[in-house]
Chains A and B, each alone.
Chain A
Amino acid sequence: GQSLEQPSEVTAVEGAIVQINCTYQTSGFYGLSWYQQHDGGAPTFLSYNALDGLEETGRFSSFLSRSDSYGYLLLQELQMKDSASYFCAAFTGGGNKLTFGTGTQLKVEL
């Protein structure tokens, strides 16, 4: 089956850097995406890695290592508004089924 595992909760202080890890076991892996969800609202897309390496988008960066079946989301200069749930997700099984990870609740403190 498909599984993407994440830590359930991460806490960090405002202005700090935090890394949220994702390890996956999937078939037909095409790439890894990251989504943010505030208070049960609509998940919003943050980034996508099709190839190994680091992708940077403003304060957020995402990394993928296919050989290790591992990726992470890096958030820099944390702000209170970054407190949310973060999900990794993978297109699998032919490339169009998007499977989500277990989710990480990020709490940013003063």
Chain B
Amino acid sequence: NAGVMQNPRHLVRRRGQEARLRCSPMKGHSHVYWYRQLPEEGLKFMVYLQKENIIDESGMPKERFSAEFPKEGPSILRIQQVVRGDSAAYFCASSPQGGRTEAFFGQGTRLTVV
């Protein structure tokens, strides 16, 4: 049973470009969370999704950021017109349906905006 898969592991974008981060949850998991982490800081909640639904996006910036978790395929975190301040590690986690105990994390995507 493969773990949570994120790709790419490293992503470099120029200012103004788009970044697409992908997350495939563990098999059987229908809950996905996205977090952002700056160096030496904690994990900041961005968005919580279930299949085809955004449940809580209270941590998402109002502009340029969007997330989806389609019926088929991975969850996507999309950042449009990236700026240097978007440089961070973005982690995805998944949990089983109705799970309130453990979330499993992917290895993260390190986004660098140059």
User: Which of A13-21, A58-66, A99-107 lies at the interface?
Assistant: A99-107
* Cβ-neighbour of B105 out of A42, A91, A93 (below 8 A): A42
Interface string of B44-65 (1 = CB under 8 A from A): 1100100000011000000000
Contacts of A30 in B (CB 8 A): 100
| Complex alpha-carbon distance, A98 and B43, angstroms | 10
B69 at the interface (CB under 8 A from A): no
**Total residues of chain B contacting the partner, CB 8 A:** 27
Once the chains bind, are B89 and A98 in contact (CB under 8 Å)?
A: no
When A48-B101, A98-B103 are in contact, do A40 and B93 touch as well, CB less than 8 Å?
A: no
B72 at the interface (CB under 8 A from A): no
Once the chains bind, are B45 and A45 in contact (CB under 8 Å)?
A: no
Once the chains bind, are B102 and A33 in contact (CB under 8 Å)?
A: yes
A104 to chain B, nearest CB (A): 10
Once the chains bind, are A87 and B102 in contact (CB under 8 Å)?
A: no
B93 to chain A, nearest CB (A): 7
When A40-B37, A43-B91 are in contact, do A87 and B100 touch as well, CB less than 8 Å?
A: no
* Cβ-neighbour of A45 out of B48, B91, B103 (below 8 A): B103
Taking Cβ atoms with an 8 Å cutoff, the residues of B that contact A are 4, 31, 33, 35, 37, 39, 41-45, 48, 55-56, 89, 91, 93, 95, 100-108
Q: Which 6 A-B pairs have the closest CB atoms?
A: A100-B43, A103-B42, A42-B105, A45-B102, A48-B101, A43-B105
